[in-house]
Amino acid sequence: DIGFDEFVFTGADFLLKEDALTLTEGTLVAGQSGATTVSLTADTFTLTEGTLSITTATIVTLVADSFTLTDGTVSIGVSTKISPILDTFTLTDGTLLVQQAQDVTPVADTFTLSDGTLVIRAEQESRITLIADTFTLTDGTTSITTGSRITPVADTFTLTDGTLSISTATAITLIADTFTLTDGTLTIDVTQDINLIADSLTLTDGTLVIDQEQDVFLVADSFTITDGALLVQQDQNVTLTADALVITDGTVSVTTGSRVTLTPDAFSLTDGAITISQEQDVFLLADTFTLSEGTLNIFAEQETTVDLVPDALAIDPGIMSIKASGNTSVGLIHPHLILTAGALTIYQDVN
Q: How much is the pLDDT for 340?
A: 78
Which region among 6-20, 62-76, 173-187 has the lowest average model confidence (pLDDT)? Answer: 6-20
Task: Report the C-alpha gap between 263 and 242 in whole angstroms.
Answer: 7
Distance in Å from the first CA to the final CA of the chain: 76
Q: Sorting pLDDT into bands at 50, 70 and 90, what band is 33?
A: low
Half-sphere exposure of 288 toward its Cβ, with a 13 Å CA cutoff?
A: 9
Instruction: Kindly report the average pLDDT of the chain as a whole number.
Output: 87
Task: Report the C-alpha gap between 17 and 14 in whole angstroms.
Answer: 10
Q: How far is CA 220 from CA 28, 89, 162, 198, 262, in A?
A: 44, 27, 22, 5, 12
Q: Buried (b) or exposed (e) across 25-62, using 16+ Cβ within 10 A?
A: ebebbbbeeebebbbbbbebbbbbebbbbbbebbbbbb
Give the per-residue SS3 of 91-103: EECCEEEEECCCE
* Radius of gyration (C-alpha) of the chain in whole angstroms: 24
Task: Report the C-alpha gap between 28 and 256 in whole angstroms.
Answer: 49
Residue 188 pLDDT more than 50?
yes
Residue 71 pLDDT more than 70?
yes
Range of 236-250, 314-328, 329-343 with top mean pLDDT:
236-250
Helix (H) or strand (E) holding 276: strand 273-292
Task: Report the C-alpha gap between 132 and 108 in whole angstroms.
Answer: 5
Q: How much is the pLDDT for 162?
A: 95
Task: Report the C-alpha gap between 14 and 37 in whole angstroms.
Answer: 6
Say what the pTM is. 0.89
Nearest Cα neighbor of 137 from 190, 85, 176 is 176
Q: How much is the pLDDT for 161?
A: 96
Q: Give mean pLDDT, residues 335-343.
A: 79
Identify the burial level of 350 via C-beta atoms within 10 angstroms of its C-beta, where 0-12 means exposed, 13-18 middle and 19 or more buried.
exposed
Nearest Cα neighbor of 22 from 76, 83, 64, 58 is 64
Residue 160 pLDDT more than 70?
yes
Half-sphere exposure of 174 toward its Cβ, with a 13 Å CA cutoff?
A: 26
Residue 254 pLDDT more than 70?
yes
Q: How much is the pLDDT for 1?
A: 47
Residue 11 pLDDT more than 60?
no
Q: How much is the pLDDT for 308?
A: 86
Which region among 29-43, 58-72, 278-292 has the lowest average model confidence (pLDDT)? Answer: 29-43
Q: How much is the pLDDT for 113?
A: 95
Q: Give mean pLDDT, residues 213-242.
A: 91
Range of 2-16, 259-273, 336-350 with top mean pLDDT:
259-273
Q: How much is the pLDDT for 349?
A: 54
Name residues whose C-beta falls within 8 Å of residue 322's C-beta, 6 or more positions apart in sequence: 298, 300, 306, 330, 345, 346, 347, 349
Is the backbone of residue 273 left (phi > 0), alpha (psi -120 to 50) or beta?
A: beta
Task: Report the C-alpha gap between 53 and 32 in whole angstroms.
Answer: 10
Q: How much is the pLDDT for 8?
A: 60
Q: How much is the pLDDT for 332?
A: 82
Residue 258 pLDDT more than 50?
yes
Identify the burial level of 347 via C-beta atoms within 10 angstroms of its C-beta, where 0-12 means exposed, 13-18 middle and 19 or more buried.
exposed
Q: Give mean pLDDT, residues 139-155.
A: 92
Residue 5 pLDDT more than 80?
no
Q: Give mean pLDDT, residues 58-62.
A: 89
Angle made by CA atoms 246, 254, 238, in degrees to the nearest 5: 80
Q: How much is the pLDDT for 228?
A: 93
